[in-house]
Amino acid sequence: MRFKVSVIGAGFVGSTTAQRIYEKGYADVVLVDIVEDKPQGLALDMMESGPVLGTDATIVGSNGYEETVDSDVVVITAGLPRKPGMSRDDLLLTNMKIVGSVSEQVAKHSPNAVLVIVSNPLDAMVQHAKVVSGFPKERVVGMAGILDTARFRSFLAMELNASVTNVQAYVLGGHGDSMVPLIGTTTVGGVPVADLIEKDRLEEIVQRTRDGGAEIVKLLKTGSAYYAPSAAAAQMVEAILLDRKEILPCAAFLEGEYGINGLYAGVPVKLGAKGVEQVIEIELTESEKAALLKSAESVQELVNVMAASS
């Protein structure tokens, strides 16, 4: 019997995430969107690729939640995307209503699911999904750190003309301008990155990482990134379904770890069948600790705005 995964939101991120999961073959997929016939058409197109790809999994589209009943994992991508000139935070109150409504329906139809939140502003949306769903902290997790880290690793590999597989790094904190790429623990082939790249150039790469999403929004003009975000979401789904106990940077609910309490922040976690099975605390420099706390403050500000509007 295959697993069941539902993806809520059939925009570029959601549909590409659904496609990636379907192609793996270990889960049947339900793609949900409010636009009539859109998820059905996308799902049918993907299903017809099955014979070419050699997958016997199923994928269906729906405009409601009945098809999603008893999902093992639900990926929430629903919400408005960024437009040029917008920050992720500009989407706060609009996407808060959307993610809240979706979380309520998901909790009703799949009370034992693990929720993977992708909607922006990411950290605030994960916090809101946890409150609305009533799920335990382990079963509500946000996709951000994997994406931010992938961008950081990509830029470092490009700079050094090295394989991305040799670049080991973490980007922690909120998914926004205050994210914290960790220089001290970043290595390329086991060599500290600070020994390979001049400090000023390294700072430029760090800033490009922080601006990674905005750079793509500016280039596309009518949309935002979806290939890398969907790959990151699919990696999380696989780690959960296959109980891989994989250590990945994700937005997790902290209760004292890293000096942060009662708030979601991007940190390394062990991801397995139960969701977030452990928060991994790694040693940070004083400046990294300060930057992570500052990032958490930015997330708290958004959470406060949401609370005031409720």
Residues 168 and 114 in one domain: no
Residues 286 and 176 in one domain: yes
pLDDT of residue 86: 66
191: three-class secondary structure by DSSP: strand
Distance CA 229, CA 208 (A): 17
Q: What is the span of the domain harbouring residue 262?
A: 145-309
* 201 and 98, same domain (yes or no): no
Is 175 tagged catalytic? yes
Domain final residue pick, 142, 168, 197: 142
Q: Which of 113, 142, 171 is the last residue in one of the domains? A: 142
Using one digit for the tens of pLDDT, what is the confidence trace for 52-93? 999 999 999 999 999 999 999 999 999 987 667 766 667 798
Angle, CA 28 vertex, CA 26 and CA 31 arms, to 5°: 135
Element (H, E) at 188: strand 187-188
How high is the pLDDT of residue 162? 98
- For 188-204, the pLDDT digits (tens) are 999 999 999 999 999 99
Indicate whether 301 pLDDT > 70: yes
Q: Which of 142, 176, 207 is the last residue of a domain?
A: 142
Shared domain for 300 and 171, answered yes or no, is yes
Half-sphere exposure of 234 (CA within 13 A, CB side): 22
Q: Are residues 9 and 104 in the same domain?
A: yes
Q: What is the pLDDT of residue 309?
A: 85
Across the range 16-37, mean pLDDT stands at 98
- The CATH number for 134's domain is 3.40.50.720
Same domain for 167 and 226, yes or no, is: yes
Local confidence band at 285 (pLDDT 50, 70, 90 cut-offs): very high
Domain count, the chain: 2
Q: How confident is the model at residue 3 (pLDDT cuts 50, 70, 90)?
A: very high
Same domain for 82 and 35 = yes
Span 109-114, average pLDDT: 98
Q: Is 252 helix (H, G, I), strand (E, B) or coil?
A: strand
The two tokens of residue 154 are: 């990509």
Predicted pLDDT at 90: 77
Q: In what order do the strands lie in the sheet with 275-279?
A: 59-62, 27-32, 3-8, 73-76, 114-117, 140-142, 246-255, 261-272, 275-279
Q: Which of 175, 228, 250, 276 is catalytic?
A: 175
Per-residue pLDDT at 1: 80
Q: Read off the DSSP letter of residue 194.
A: G
Same structural domain for residues 162 and 242? Answer: yes
Instruction: Tell me: do 114 and 187 sit in the same domain.
Output: no
Q: Which pLDDT belongs to residue 181?
A: 95
CB 43 within 8 A of CB 18: yes
Are 185 and 297 found together in one domain? yes
pLDDT tens per residue across span 121-177:
999 999 999 999 999 999 999 998 999 999 999 999 999 999 999 999 999 998 888
Per-residue pLDDT at 87: 66
- Residue 249 sits in a domain whose CATH number is 3.90.110.10
Percentage of the chain modeled with pLDDT above 70: 98
CB atoms within 10 A of CB 306: 18
Same domain, 188 and 292: yes
Structure pTM? 0.95
Same domain, 52 and 83: yes
